[in-house]
Amino acid sequence: MKSSTRNQFQGTVTSMDVAPVTAQVVIALSTGQEIVATMTRAAAERLKLKVGVPAIALIKASQIALITDFDGYVLSARNQFAGTVSRIERGAVNSRVTVSVPGGAAFTASVTNDAVDELGLKPGAAATAVFKAYSVMVAAKPF
């Protein structure tokens, strides 16, 4: 699949919770991680999603927040991946920051240069990539 979406993860649907209006889909990656996506029930039906179907989770870099210190707080976001900053590409206003997580997955976030400085982001620094389940687009080949 060709897409401008920076974060694309292939996996398999391992569970679904379908409600009258929404559906929550869990996609297991080959790295052992799971990404949770929430969509409308109609979208899940249109994609013909079911357990065992191959799927791709797509997350725009602008939808990923980076956290370096939770300070005891717990977040409502379902997708939280702790890792290490492996790359920073600094632009005039924004930077692309890649966080590599155990198992081999890497998440790229687009954040302001001010945020990079304020969070003390640099290669080797600990960071957690966080995004809401509603920020995940799912692609599948309907059977």
Residues 80 and 40 in one domain: no
pLDDT digits over 9-61, tens only?
A: 999 999 999 999 999 999 999 999 999 999 999 999 999 999 999 999 999 99
CATH of the domain at 71: 2.40.50.100
In a domain, 77, yes or no: yes
For residue range 104-115, list pLDDT tens digits in order: 999 999 999 999
Number of domains forming the structure of the chain: 2
Query: Which domain, by its residues, includes 37?
Result: 7-60+133-139
DSSP per position, the chain: ---S-SEEEEEEEEEEEE-SSEEEEEEEETTS-EEEEEEEHHHHHHTT--TT-EEEEEE-GGG-EEES--TT---S-SEEEEEEEEEEEE-SSEEEEEEE-TTS-EEEEEEEHHHHHHHT--TT-EEEEEE-GGG-EEE----
Q: Is the pLDDT of residue 138 over 70?
A: yes
89 and 38 in a single domain? The answer is: no
